[in-house]
Structure 1
């Protein structure tokens, strides 16, 4: 199957090298974990931890609606006005400035604001999937916020969300939302074959084995966008679970994509697509061909699972 859409301008894919925004990146990662853990604590439990994620909006990232007894609320990072917006179904609106401030200060401000409007919630304050974690209430080390880089982060997320949503639309089987995982700080969408998977061996750094086993209880082909870290720059990625030995040798497209033995997944470097005349086509080709690698090698029932939306005319 070939997925095609009108090409976006290459200029919407903004530069964001890890070194340029490392401090803001680390702080935002921890801030999103605080807000994500609030949703995790209060939202009804969904398979594969889908109740814990955040979603891209035209202004930033949101929890979407979270129930609180008979009322509801949502928390949104607004990267245009640079504020955290807390809204309730009974008409209360509170804002917290997104500005240089420590994780500890941000955590206290969020929890105090929620308490002031009658929302009681307790979260585990230890960050996850992060090396050398510091409890939120003790973290005075991470306190950077550069508005320009925060906006670039969100604008890139919008473009990635747009393409992952197009890709998701061509699947009739079980499929996750396009959602942002605050633990790994990436945007992802996952297709399922409908079959149970072998129990995951666990061992994922910063994640309990029982959490991983719930996430990978069924066969998947997963893809997404990650902002990089350390010496690794931003990239689109794709992997399968369970992964057959031949997965890494499957001929995928575009030619610039490759299998990373270190990451154990296919990757398409962000800077490569930024230099392309047709970034959208490059990304969609990568998403489709890596899915085909997982589905063909895993003997998925593709005829039943794939879908072409019906259009008028």
Structure 2
């Protein structure tokens, strides 16, 4: 265990996590509203950077705008390609107050403060402007969460180097509030039945238009503790019975996914290696049981300054 894998128990910061989730939705919906559609909703996501989560550069008329949720200095920071900047502090507030301040920040940048006004993929969604309950903000817990995300991002990015096929960036889906990385077999998938709470069926079906093996990280909520997951769409026969490592990993029949508690990674003598083992063996289960062409798709893990051997 090292400082790069901090303790992030979900219970003590549950309410702060919920608030941060909704704030990320507001920021993400600005990016979604301004960016042309990219396959599987990749245009909507946020990314880990050196200080928190970023939209990357969002096209907004003739200019570009970047929004950063700075989880070290605890601020929302906007920067525009014409040199303008704006910010406000992250602190205890309501979702409605965050929404108002974020709109003011966009207008200060000369950006377009128009985007969808209700959360997705949360139970009992309340329009942002009507969500006036005061929310806590625990800066120490938020920073620990960011440090954990930076560690997860590092391993996920290394994992994606050993695949020659189509593979997603490592990105934060603000709807479900999880960091994810997804590999594709290259084959079309059966039409997804839809029915994901708080997500339009056409969005879900486009996201799962092709066969996937997807892995990710939740801070909590999915299984009420910080955890990694791995699933397939469509799930191949006997996927739930596949042997996976490490020993702490298990198949959750309700979710239809393999789960590995974050603490099992954090407490291991080689946290990066333990997580990589989970990612690799769950992918192999999908690929082998699903008949993926691994000769064409797999390659050696990338090494710094060494071109991939042909």
* TM-score band w.r.t. shorter chain: over 0.9
The equivalent position to 2:215 in structure 1, one of 211, 215, 223, is 223
- Go from structure 1 to structure 2 and tell me whether the alpha carbon gap of 1:88 and 1:234 turns closer, same or farther (over 3 Å shift): same
Q: Does 1:131 align with 2:120?
A: no
Asked if the contact 1:27–1:142 (Cα under 8 Å) also holds between the matched residues in 2, the reply is: no
Q: Does 1:38 align with 2:30?
A: yes
Alignment of 1:81-230 (within 5 A): 81-229=73-221
Deviates more, 1:293-302 or 1:111-120: 111-120
SS in 2 for 1:191: strand
**Aligned match of 2:14:** 22
- Go from structure 1 to structure 2 and tell me whether the alpha carbon gap of 1:223 and 1:231 turns closer, same or farther (over 3 Å shift): closer
**Structure 2: runs of 5+ lacking an equivalent:** none
1:255-303 deviation per Cα after TM superposition (whole angstroms, max 9, x unaligned): 2111111111001111222221111111000000000011111111111
Distance 1:221 1:230 in 2: 18
**Structure 1: runs of 5+ lacking an equivalent:** 1-8
State the shift of 1:117 in Å. 2.7
**Aligned match of 2:250:** 258
Asked if the contact 2:251–2:257 (Cα under 8 Å) also holds between the matched residues in 1, the reply is: yes
Distance 1:93 1:126 in 2: 26
State the shift of 1:122 in Å. 1.6
Distance 1:214 1:149 in 2: 35
Tell me the TM-score normalized by structure 1. 0.94
Deviates more, 1:302-311 or 1:89-98: 302-311
Tell me the TM-score normalized by structure 2. 0.95
Q: Does 1:298 align with 2:293?
A: no
Distance 2:41 2:141 in 1: 29
1:80-126 deviation per Cα after TM superposition (whole angstroms, max 9, x unaligned): 21111100000001011111111101101111221233212421211
1:38-97 deviation per Cα after TM superposition (whole angstroms, max 9, x unaligned): 000001210000000000011000000001122101000111211111000000010111
SS in 1 for 2:204: helix
Q: Aligned pairs, how many?
A: 305
Distance 2:260 2:198 in 1: 25
Alignment of 1:209-288 (within 5 A): 209-229=201-221, 232-288=224-280
